[in-house]
Chains A and B, each alone.
Chain A
């Protein structure tokens, strides 16, 4: 019995796309959280951390409601892409994954930015460097481990999601049936061999990713300290 690559490839596509979107969206959010002196900062921190504690089904349920074709978001999406809908589609799964994994990207970035602090950025400013230069030449290199950890965790956490995808995407092979859902499906159908193979792949992958993150954390910590 050969390993079915379709759900694994789909999982990879969802996770990779989610990671890219999260780095683009998460960086300005983390910047604001790290350097803002707003008194309402804590509210945004709590909002972004919500997916950590919320049952995935709750998030999935609200997303399903929000994406419904008669909702404002659903109508906007229909206006932009007439032939498509968000629920039970690949795009819907990616949108759900971005929200679900948001804290895993934003929090490491925020901590890295806070650790760098304002001092090197002020130093760069009084040397004549504008905001863009300060970001690319000072902040990004000094917080590079934060970016690496954010990307790794966002990717790994998206690979590990189940409830949100099931609620928003359903179980459509080749479209929304990611590896975790395929395993569930195999077990339901008593196909233990396939379930074994997919589970082993995910187990080894997850362990390798976590080992890498902890390894990076240690060596970067030593380098910076």
Chain B
């Protein structure tokens, strides 16, 4: 795996792309921005399907360097693209589509055929033709085909935006299950906040052909002025592993490091990594563990910093035992009574929360 570094410009009529960044070699990088901001154009230029001007380097490997007249054609770049419209080969069966990718693919990353085909639930349709599949099924095949190239980078160009909500959330759930098994960096173009929050590890904001530097998802949702930030209701995103999908009380149990967290029941199977959205307003703080409380969750945490006073509220940033960040919104009065200082240990008390 290697970093992807680029400095690209491209002009098309009024629109000017002028983008430079270095993308980390692990996890899902979300390229997020409004439609018309040039996300897909950038993706096509990185894939070599569109001739921009500038430099694209994969580790120490040159993909493009206009000054040195280096331009590696798309089929020689160890990448794969999943398009919004799937672009399955209509003259081939599902299996032939997948075999095409398997046979001509780069094999840059070890990915097993069965992991992909079973993980995306495609096995029952292998003999079918693309024309016999629904939109959601087609897109699952397109994702599988992209993965079976076993690329060094997987690019996804709004892979779910043409689908209806049930099909979209079904695929998101499948990808959550698959993500842990794949050590494959992905660049995912989207304008869906849900996709960013459920699958993103890094976020790159794009607007009018310009990029902001990549930042972690946690940092991105706390950055004011972005579509991911909700000033009136700050939230933290936590990642947990499902240990019990649904107990007798309609609750799931998630493992966050050593700690256990109760959330509303999930459909994801045991072992899946899921994301939780915890609004700062639903977190209260206590110096000692509470007894006889209705709140289901009490997690030990360390106070990292105290935010600015906003009205009579103050935002407290906490670090959980496994290093994840949690936010708590507390009144100024409570803070004075608790007399919190950064570095102190505290208990974060949370009601049952919902999995994204």
Q: How many chain-B residues does the 8 Å CB contact rule pick out?
A: 23
Interface locus among B79-87, B274-282, B288-296, B329-337: B79-87
**B229 interface residue per 8 A CB criterion:** no
Chain A residues in 8 Å Cβ range of B83: 119, 123
Q: Digit string of A178-204 for contact with B (CB within 8 Å is 1, else 0)?
A: 000000000000000000000000000
Closest CB of chain B to A169's CB: distance in Å?
Answer: 41
- Closest residue of chain B to A224 (Cβ to Cβ) is B90
**B185 interface residue per 8 A CB criterion:** no
Q: Is A120 a contact partner of B89 (Cβ separation < 8 A)?
A: yes
Contacts of B51-93 to chain A: CB distance below 8 A:
73-75, 79-81, 83, 85, 87, 89-91
Q: Is B91 a contact partner of A127 (Cβ separation < 8 A)?
A: no
Contacts of B26-66 to chain A: CB distance below 8 A:
47, 49
**B264 interface residue per 8 A CB criterion:** no
Q: Is B74 a contact partner of A126 (Cβ separation < 8 A)?
A: yes
Indicate which residue in B49, B87, B90, B104 contacts A128 across the interface (CB closer than 8 Å): B104
Q: Is B49 a contact partner of A127 (Cβ separation < 8 A)?
A: no
Q: Is B89 a contact partner of A138 (Cβ separation < 8 A)?
A: yes
Chain A residues in 8 Å Cβ range of B90: 120, 142, 224
- Closest residue of chain B to A119 (Cβ to Cβ) is B87
Indicate which residue in B49, B91, B145 contacts A125 across the interface (CB closer than 8 Å): B49
Indicate which residue in A123, A129, A130, A133 contacts B87 across the interface (CB closer than 8 Å): A123
Interchain CA distance A187-B29 in the complex, whole Å: 80
Closest CB of chain A to B289's CB: distance in Å?
Answer: 54
**B100 interface residue per 8 A CB criterion:** yes
Q: How many chain-A residues does the 8 Å CB contact rule pick out?
A: 19
**B105 interface residue per 8 A CB criterion:** yes
Q: Is A130 a contact partner of B75 (Cβ separation < 8 A)?
A: yes
- Closest residue of chain B to A143 (Cβ to Cβ) is B91
**A122 interface residue per 8 A CB criterion:** yes
Closest CB of chain B to A116's CB: distance in Å?
Answer: 10
Q: Is B73 a contact partner of A123 (Cβ separation < 8 A)?
A: no
Chain B residues in 8 Å Cβ range of A224: 90
**B179 interface residue per 8 A CB criterion:** no
Chain A residues in 8 Å Cβ range of B104: 124, 127-130, 133
Q: Is A124 a contact partner of B100 (Cβ separation < 8 A)?
A: yes
**B101 interface residue per 8 A CB criterion:** yes
Interchain CA distance A112-B145 in the complex, whole Å: 26
Q: Is A129 a contact partner of B100 (Cβ separation < 8 A)?
A: yes
Chain A residues in 8 Å Cβ range of B149: 126-128
Indicate which residue in A129, A137, A141 contacts B75 across the interface (CB closer than 8 Å): A129
Interchain CA distance A123-B74 in the complex, whole Å: 10
Interchain CA distance A66-B185 in the complex, whole Å: 62
Interchain CA distance A129-B103 in the complex, whole Å: 9
Q: Is B85 a contact partner of A127 (Cβ separation < 8 A)?
A: no
- Closest residue of chain A to B78 (Cβ to Cβ) is A128
Q: Is B105 a contact partner of A128 (Cβ separation < 8 A)?
A: yes
- Closest residue of chain A to B142 (Cβ to Cβ) is A123
Q: Is B89 a contact partner of A123 (Cβ separation < 8 A)?
A: yes
- Closest residue of chain A to B47 (Cβ to Cβ) is A126
Task: Contacts A125-B73, A126-B49, A126-B74 given; indicate if A120 touches B100 (C-beta within 8 A).
Answer: no
Interchain CA distance A142-B83 in the complex, whole Å: 19
Interchain CA distance A84-B145 in the complex, whole Å: 57
Interchain CA distance A141-B92 in the complex, whole Å: 9
Interchain CA distance A130-B106 in the complex, whole Å: 12
Task: Contacts A133-B104, A137-B100 given; indicate if A125 touches B89 (C-beta within 8 A).
Answer: no
Q: Is B91 a contact partner of A122 (Cβ separation < 8 A)?
A: no
Chain B residues in 8 Å Cβ range of A126: 47, 49, 74-75, 79-81, 149, 155
Chain A residues in 8 Å Cβ range of B75: 124-131, 134
Chain A residues in 8 Å Cβ range of B105: 127-128
Indicate which residue in B74, B89, B100, B106 contacts A122 across the interface (CB closer than 8 Å): B74
Closest CB of chain A to B86's CB: distance in Å?
Answer: 9
Q: Digit string of B135-177 for contact with A (CB within 8 Å is 1, else 0)?
A: 0000000000110010000010000000000000000000000
Chain A residues in 8 Å Cβ range of B101: 127-128
Q: Is A125 a contact partner of B85 (Cβ separation < 8 A)?
A: no
Additional A-B contact list (10), CB under 8 Å, known A128-B149, A129-B100: A119-B83, A122-B74, A123-B83, A123-B87, A123-B89, A125-B73, A125-B74, A127-B105, A128-B80, A142-B89
> Which B residues are within 8 Å of any A CB, using their own CB?
47, 49, 73-75, 79-81, 83, 85, 87, 89-91, 100-101, 104-106, 145-146, 149, 155
Q: Which 8 pairs, one residue from A and one from B, show the smallest C-beta to C-beta distance?
A: A123-B87, A128-B104, A126-B81, A125-B74, A129-B104, A141-B91, A127-B101, A125-B75
> Which A residues are within 8 Å of any B CB, using their own CB?
119-120, 122-131, 133-134, 137-138, 141-142, 224
